[in-house]
Amino acid sequence: MKNFKKSLQTLGAAALVAGSAFAITAPAVAQNSNVSLSDILRRVQQDSQQMSAEDQRRLQEFRQETAEQQSRMSEARSQLQAAEARGRTLSAEFDENERQLSELSAELETQAGDFGELLGQFRTAAGETMPIIKESLSNYEYSGRAEKLAEVSEARSLPTREDLDALPKAMLQEMIAQSEVKTFTTSVAGAGPEGEVADIELMRVGIFTAATTDDVRFVEVITEGTDEPYLRVLKAQPGGSFASAMRSLINSEPGETVITPIDPSKGDLFAVAGEMPTLEQRIQQGGPVGAVILFLLAVGAVFALFKIVTLFLMGSAMRRTAKTRKAGTGNPLARVFEAYEKNKHQDLESLELKLDEQILRESPKIERFNDVVKVLAAVAPLLGLLGTVIGMIITFTAITNFGAGDPKLMAGGISVALMTTVLGLVAAIPLLLLHAIASSMARGNQQILDEQAAGLVAERAESNTVTA
């Protein structure tokens, strides 16, 4: 019994050491109750020995890996020590180089003397000249100068003889370009059929003006919003006089003197001139009121010119009739003579009344349409005043809605106000002049009738006196 208990204790201890083996063999014991305790103990000992061997193998592998890691760590420490030593060597070498560089720089400054100051001024001049040449029209014909000056101005080493010659050569080339009138081919934005970039021939006048030779379109240098300036056709071309003068220059013969436009701002002034509204655009700014004023001007001018022509023809016919004293119906004076012939046998008072009646009958025909021209001449400035009031209303409405910060918002109303006033005066002035001319001619024709009628009455009175 004691031995059995001891065997159980030994079995429990073995189970604690090798739980996994006991977990595997325990079912077998439960299933086979005939297995002896000696067999169980033997199996437990075998399992224990196997576990010990496995533990020894793992322990051996762990010790081997530990030894390898220690070896690698020792190697890494050796490399670190070597790198630190090399770093100390390089640092000492760097410090020595810095010391030598400082000594050489001090020696260079001492030996350079005034040349160092001159070199600084040279680089400053190159840096100031570079953007001027870069934005010049001649730079697109004589390229490479701006890049060379930029290289010279930014270099830290001493310039070579070629570098020193770059600045005066670039300046001299620019001075020569100012007096040149030449054609050259370069890339221009907006020159293609669809507004794309295209290589096209340009006529350059100095460094101020350039235009395409085929259709005479002025170009400008664009510098804002871009790193590299480029040429672009002006979106709004200036008036016809500028293009005509430039076309004369393009078509001129060598040695011929031609007056041509110059834009010292390299296209900015031409762009402003191109954006100025034309006469048609200004008239359109007057709006509906301006259109009514122009219509009244046209109507009044037609009536006035028609009246002036008819009065001139009427006056000529009346002067011819005054010489011949031939009665008829072709003109007012002939009809007055006709009335005289019909009533010359009546008494003097009746004859005078008949002649006055005929003159009164002819007067409306002479004065016809004069009042129409006069009324239109008076209405035109009133319509201009109406347009001015409408324009001010538009302007103040824009100020109320959007404020007065942007003048362009008020430009529409101001344009209406000014243009209607101008159109009203433009219509009234010529209509008044035409009315004055027509009225003067009408009074002249009326005076001819009065003079001839008075002459006829006077002749009749003289004849009656002689008879008496």
pLDDT in tens, 226-275: 778 888 888 888 877 888 888 888 888 887 888 888 888 777 788 777 77
The answer to whether residue 10 scores a pLDDT higher than 50 is: no
- Comparing 67-71, 405-409, 432-436, the range with the smallest average pLDDT is 405-409
pLDDT in tens, 273-309: 777 777 787 788 888 888 999 999 999 999 999 999 9
Q: Which residues contact 259 (CB under 8 A, 6 or more apart)?
A: 245, 248
Q: Among 296, 441, 439, 448, which residue's Cα sits nearest to residue 370?
A: 439
Please check whether residue 238 is in contact with residue 274, taking contact to mean a CB–CB distance below 8 angstroms.
yes
pLDDT range class, residue 145, cuts 50, 70, 90: confident
Given this model, what pLDDT does residue 33 score? 46
Instruction: Tell me the C-alpha to C-alpha distance, in Å, between residue 206 and each of 33, 138, 176, 316.
Output: 122, 8, 9, 63
Please check whether residue 372 is in contact with residue 394, taking contact to mean a CB–CB distance below 8 angstroms.
no
pLDDT range class, residue 36, cuts 50, 70, 90: confident
Given this model, what pLDDT does residue 134 score? 85
pLDDT range class, residue 11, cuts 50, 70, 90: very low
Given this model, what pLDDT does residue 431 score? 93
- Tell me what percent of the residues of the chain surpass a pLDDT of 90: 12
Given this model, what pLDDT does residue 7 score? 45
Residue ranges in 18-113 assigned as alpha helix (H): 19-31, 37-112
Please check whether residue 331 is in contact with residue 407, taking contact to mean a CB–CB distance below 8 angstroms.
no
Q: Which residues contact 240 (CB under 8 A, 6 or more apart)?
A: none
Q: Among 323, 342, 343, which residue's Cα sits nearest to residue 333?
A: 323
Q: Among 158, 154, 151, which residue's Cα sits nearest to residue 111?
A: 158
Please check whether residue 204 is in contact with residue 137, taking contact to mean a CB–CB distance below 8 angstroms.
yes
pLDDT range class, residue 1, cuts 50, 70, 90: very low
Rounded to whole angstroms, the maximal C-alpha distance in the chain is 206
* Both tokens assigned to 337: 């003579």
- Comparing 135-139, 424-428, 439-443, the range with the smallest average pLDDT is 135-139
Please check whether residue 141 is in contact with residue 186, taking contact to mean a CB–CB distance below 8 angstroms.
yes
* Both tokens assigned to 188: 């221009």
Kind of pairing between the strands at 219-222 and 230-233: antiparallel
Given this model, what pLDDT does residue 165 score? 84
E strand or H helix at 156: none
pLDDT in tens, 156-168: 777 777 878 888 8
Cα separation, 101 vs 36, whole angstroms: 95
The answer to whether residue 34 scores a pLDDT higher than 60 is: no
pLDDT range class, residue 22, cuts 50, 70, 90: very low
b/e 177-191 (16+ beta carbons within 10 angstroms → b): beeeeeeeebebebb
Cα separation, 136 vs 266, whole angstroms: 8
The answer to whether residue 455 scores a pLDDT higher than 50 is: yes
pLDDT in tens, 179-232: 888 888 888 888 888 778 888 889 888 888 888 888 888 888 888 877 788 888
pLDDT, the chain, mean: 81
Q: Across residues 58-72, what is the average pLDDT?
A: 87
Q: Which amino acid is at 398?
A: A
* DSSP 8-state code for residue 140: G
Kind of pairing between the strands at 198-205 and 181-188: antiparallel
Q: Across residues 302-323, what is the average pLDDT?
A: 90
- Comparing 36-50, 55-69, 90-104, 313-327, the range with the smallest average pLDDT is 36-50
Q: Which residues contact 244 (CB under 8 A, 6 or more apart)?
A: none
* Both tokens assigned to 13: 């201890």
Please check whether residue 189 is in contact with residue 231, taking contact to mean a CB–CB distance below 8 angstroms.
yes
Given this model, what pLDDT does residue 302 score? 93
- For residue 199, what are the β-bridge partners? 187
pLDDT in tens, 341-396: 888 888 888 888 888 888 888 888 888 888 899 999 999 999 989 988 888 888 88
Report pTM. 0.55
Cα separation, 11 vs 27, whole angstroms: 15
pLDDT range class, residue 409, cuts 50, 70, 90: low
The distance of Cα 401 from the centroid of its chain, to the nearest Å, equals 26
Please check whether residue 387 is in contact with residue 416, taking contact to mean a CB–CB distance below 8 angstroms.
yes
Helix, strand, or coil here: 417? helix
Given this model, what pLDDT does residue 3 score? 43
Given this model, what pLDDT does residue 114 score? 60
Q: Which amino acid is at 429?
A: I
E strand or H helix at 435: helix 407-467
